[in-house]
Amino acid sequence: MASTENQGQGNDQGGDPDRDDDNDDNQGDDNNQGNDDDQGHDGDDQGDSNHHHDPPCYCRGTLIRAERGEVCVEDLAIGDRVLTISGESKPVKWIGKRGYSGQFIAGNRTVLPVVVRAGALAPDIPARDLWVSPWHALLLDGALVPAKLLVNGQTILQPEAVDQVEYFHLEFEAHEVIWAEGAPAESYVECDNRQGFHNAHEFAALYPDDRRASFGRCLPVLEPGTAELAAIRDRLFERAAALGHSATADPDLHLVVDGTIVAPRLIDGRYTFELDAPTHEVWLASRCGVPAELQLLSNDRRCLGVCIEQLVLRDAHLRVEISPAHPSLCEGFHEDERGVRRWTNGRGWIPERFLRAFTGGFTIEVRCLPPLPRYLLNRKSIDIPKHFSRLVA
């Protein structure tokens, strides 16, 4: 990742970005057991209002297919002709710019860019990694799909932080689908968001009589929670598997007891762990993942491990049952849900107060509800291009 000194430019480079309202500990009602139709948990600001306020933009370095060849988006100028998906070339009407210093947007998924890895959509599409703003839409199955809704933790990713990010939007006389890194993607469409660019005053000076209607999209935009989006995401998971990205339905639940891994016996959803001696530290450890990335339609942004229904510690003389609603289950656990279940974050701590009751070997039983449908294997870090450290002048 590029390393630069943050220069405090979150305000003069496009205004204060709205903080993402994601809260990893929010609970839903019926949508917390890893089902692909989970919809109600943690809305993540995915409604249509964000389409209006977050302009679709390309990151510095994105190659745009112009009449004179592929040109970096920052090197295009007003009047340059860009090829559209129709085969016609259209002149650029305006180029908006905005940029942020990383210290202002760390963890803010409404602003942080999304990368669509080379070949993620289809063979050679995109031809190279494509970096766009979160709500920038790509053309898939005849509809425009915001990149943020395609993030799958494998081939389409969103980093938690970048040192700097610069966004460039390309506007034409009408909303267009153009070619960016060989993938069909939208141009800018005015949706009451032009003031989000630090050079917005230029447009008013150039086109004082512009009276075009807002929200004039050339194609429909898919919304969260639709069957069409689920079908596209399912196909992209298949594409990721074909590219060698592996996943498993096994949460690999185990204990870490005083630093040593203890494997379970699994029978009918009950994990049984036999401990030969008393202990002072026990962790419930497992794989984990974000449902919004791993499922077809969830908007749950929490990092989830396994869903605990019951914990039992016992020996020949004593049995201790721990309800998911017990308030001492806090470190490594999310809030309990309806008092009947509680997700770990992949490493949940069993409080020592329960362990002290046993002076010899004992058994720990963990009853789990169905896990996530998939957990990613061999996750790789996101390489951030070096030009993300260069700010708009």
Structure tokens given for 33 = 């057991």
Q: What is the pTM assigned to this prediction?
A: 0.82
Residues of the chain with pLDDT under 70: 1-55, 213-216, 387-393
pLDDT in tens, 218-240: 788 899 999 999 999 999 999 99
Pairing of β 69-72 and β 81-83: unpaired
- Determine the pLDDT at residue 318: 96
Give the per-residue pLDDT at 55: 67
CA dist 72 and 67 (Å) reads 13
Residue 280, phi then psi, degrees to nearest 5: -115, -10
User: 339: Cβ–Cβ under 8 A, 6 or more apart, which residues?
Assistant: 323, 324, 325
